[in-house]
A and B are shown apart, each in its own frame.
Chain A
Amino acid sequence: MGASLGGLEATKTILSTISRSFNLPIALVLHRDENSPTELLINILNKDSPIEVIEAEDKMMIQNSKCYIAPAGYHLLIDEDHFALSTENKVHHSRPSIDVLLESAADAYRSDLIGVIMTGNSVDGAEGLKSVKEKGGLTIVQDPKDAKAELMPKSAILAANPDYTIPLPDIGTLLMKLSEETRN
């Protein structure tokens, strides 16, 4: 999942819609200042979240029912079964970049992946979501009318032609449904 401006509230909304039985891992990129402490963000998110929200670390194994946030100032990548960090150049002026996360996730998980783009005032994430779709994953974009900032979802829609363009609460419900399906 990725978001920029308005992303914190958007994430809170989604997390409050799912339940504790949510069985999938979530990797999340929220654009923010390079020096902003992730701890604050995590505390805010954990308050309303039924699943644990933690900061992703290099070489950390990816586990179900957890929401991992990319640290500020680093790109977050998926390396088979664990997370990897990188300090490469910013992508679309962002580090962490949503494109970087989605592209590596698409590479690692192919069709076993759900990509979600939410509110934001950047085009970061559009190419990444396109990668997700190209490699067989499911693509969801927050309805721009529902979003605090439209640029990010609009760019994603244009680039990726997502499977779903829906408001936030519906995203939460859909993710819950998909999580249930994977149990079976």
Chain B
Amino acid sequence: MTEKIDLENLEIKLLLDGVYRVSGYDFRDYALASLKRRIHKCMLDEETATVSGFQERVLHNPESLNHFLLSLSIDITELFRDPDLYRSYREKIIPVLHTYPFFRIWHAGCSTGEEAYSDAIILTEEGLYDRARIYATDFNEIVIEKAKKGIFSQKVMKTYTANYQQAGGKQAFSKYYTAKFDNVQMDPRLNANITWAQHNLVTDKSFNEFQVIFCRNVMIYFNKTLQDRVLRLFYESLSPYGYLILGKKESLKFSPLENKFELIDINERIYKKIL
């Protein structure tokens, strides 16, 4: 029994090594437990019984590789998901942004873009959009392309509208999109100051200085080593007194950079760079 489990861990290491060499995407420092679940799910989809069998599929079949990469990039996301976060953003960070003539915001690991669009909507309502340069990045080119288009299913808009209202939104949410058959298209004006780009938190360096960085429910999928490395990347990418926004249950608690930040919202995990 023991050998079987250790064998699978070995196979996973080999798989990740292979994926890295073939695609350049480095998942070797992803948190093992959640990664394993995703691999198992992909294995089911590909109908392979062992990780080694799955590896063969992934290395020889570009579609399988893409499917795998996609499974590691898509996560639950909604417009104004965690409405309280956006409320807190409006109350605590927006006033500070008003004091800048111009500012940059980075949505790291933006997936299909809902968070970036939510931000764009808030900035528009606060009259700050023209001063904003938003960068939304993800390692996966496919989700970036999708995010750029700004098309969402009509079915979820009811939930998104409720989220928006709970986050303090007072406008008619429908003014931000137009209906197109079963889908909705976000207002292209929301896209005007957003740069969608491929960026890999694991392998790429800092590319600018930001006043706000959103990285929510992304680093839980990294192991401690990678997490610390990425936090350092964020630290170096933040301007003095810049804000780092993590997921509701993420924290800097176990990180060596903890003392360089001040926790300004314990419920929504908003940190301010102070040192």
Residues of the B chain whose Cβ atoms lie less than 8 Å from the Cβ of A77: 33-34, 37
Chain B: residues with Cβ within 8 Å of the partner, total of 26
B244-260 interface code vs A (CB 8 A; 1 in, 0 out):
00011111011000000
- Indicate if the CB atoms of A58 and B33 lie closer than 8 Å: no
Q: Which of A87, A103, A108, A111 is the one whose CB lies under 8 Å from B220?
A: A87
- Indicate if the CB atoms of B247 and A87 lie closer than 8 Å: yes
Residues of the A chain whose Cβ atoms lie less than 8 Å from the Cβ of B251: 57-58
A110-140 interface code vs B (CB 8 A; 1 in, 0 out):
1100000000000000000000000110000
B49 within 8 A of A: no
Q: Give the complex CA separation of A60 and B251 in angstroms.
A: 11
A80 within 8 A of B: yes
Residues of the A chain whose Cβ atoms lie less than 8 Å from the Cβ of B254: 59-60
Q: How large is the interface on A (under 10, 10 to 19, 20 to 34, 35 or more residues)?
A: 20 to 34
User: What is the total of A-B residue contacts with beta carbons within 8 Å?
Assistant: 69
- Indicate if the CB atoms of A135 and B1 lie closer than 8 Å: yes
A181 within 8 A of B: no
B32 within 8 A of A: yes
User: B138-168: which have CB < 8 Å to A?
Assistant: none
Closest to A82 in B: B224
Q: Give the complex CA separation of A135 and B6 in angstroms.
A: 13
- Indicate if the CB atoms of A136 and B1 lie closer than 8 Å: yes
Most A-side CB within 10 Å, residue of B33, B223, B248: B33
Q: Which of B1, B36, B220 is the one whose CB lies under 8 Å from A85?
A: B220
Q: A107-B5, A111-B1 are in contact. Are A84 and B253 (CB under 8 A)?
A: no
Shortest distance between the CB of B216 and any CB in chain A (Å):
9
- Indicate if the CB atoms of B249 and A88 lie closer than 8 Å: no
User: A61-90: which have CB < 8 Å to B?
Assistant: 71, 73-75, 77-80, 82, 84-89
- Indicate if the CB atoms of A110 and B250 lie closer than 8 Å: no
Q: Give the complex CA separation of A171 and B1 in angstroms.
A: 27
Residues of the B chain whose Cβ atoms lie less than 8 Å from the Cβ of A71: 248-249
A100 within 8 A of B: yes
Closest to B40 in A: A103
- Indicate if the CB atoms of B220 and A58 lie closer than 8 Å: yes
